Amino acid sequence: MKQWFRSRASDCRRRPDCAGQYPDAVMTSTLLSRAVSGAADPPLLPLPDRVAELLSELGSPPRLAAHLRAVHDVAHRLVDWLERDYRLVVFDREAVLFGAATHDVGKTLHVAELSGPGAAHEEAGRTILLGRGVGPELARFAATHASWADPGVGLEDLLVSLADKVWKNKRVPGLEDLVVARLAEATGRAAWEEFLALDEVLSDIGAGADERLAFQAAFPIDG
């Protein structure tokens, strides 16, 4: 995918009608490529190719791509932990990762919500994904990532919401209690035991929050 971005940018540079008249497009493509898959400190997994292509097609602000990459990386850590320590817990790993990588895609339309409050991006994100052929079972995360207390929310939704908070070391007790309850139900252990286990992994992830925040802040909103 990095090569795909470079190819697009290189093609544009070689075309007088593009590189000469639209230098901002070349710069934005380069920044978006770096946000999606470039070197990062701390090291972050690149966004999936499917998501990278979508963000390029939508003209995503580089900062949004950087944010999605950080949350996607944290989601990876959460699902790896669950698969290692909670084999009795049934969940859809790939759905969580896709949801984390696309949860804020609606901010490609509602760019102001990248730097200020607002929820218009939530339903807009689901609409964008559905319109791009993404099934409702995956598109839903764009709309549910801030609605973890709603009836019918699954463990996958809770994990996406959790990744979207703990990437910057924000702890939300009500959200964490819901995750703990799902874990205790699956394992039969006491809730306090599950909380201690969750707290340990969230504290470890949270320790890298400043570096992830700096990575996101290094990219502009307007390209």
Give me the tens of pLDDT residue by residue for the chain, a chain 223 residues long. 444 443 444 344 334 344 444 444 444 578 999 999 999 888 999 999 999 999 999 999 999 999 999 999 999 999 999 999 999 899 999 999 999 999 999 999 999 998 888 889 999 999 999 999 999 999 999 999 988 888 889 999 999 999 999 999 999 999 999 999 999 999 999 999 999 999 999 999 999 999 999 999 999 988 6
Which two tokens mark 170?
């924000």
Q: Can you give the pTM of this predicted structure?
A: 0.87
SS3 state at 2 = helix
φ/ψ of 199, rounded to 5, equals -60, -40
DSSP secondary structure code for residue 213 in this structure: H
Where does residue 92 fall: left (phi above 0), alpha (psi -120 to 50 degrees), or beta otherwise? beta
- Residue 152 is predicted with a pLDDT of 85
| CA–centroid distance for 45 within its chain | 11
φ/ψ of 40, rounded to 5, equals -140, 150
d(CA 167, CA 184): 24
Q: Determine which helix (DSSP H) or strand (DSSP E) holds 151, and give its type and residue range.
A: none
- Residue 6 is predicted with a pLDDT of 38
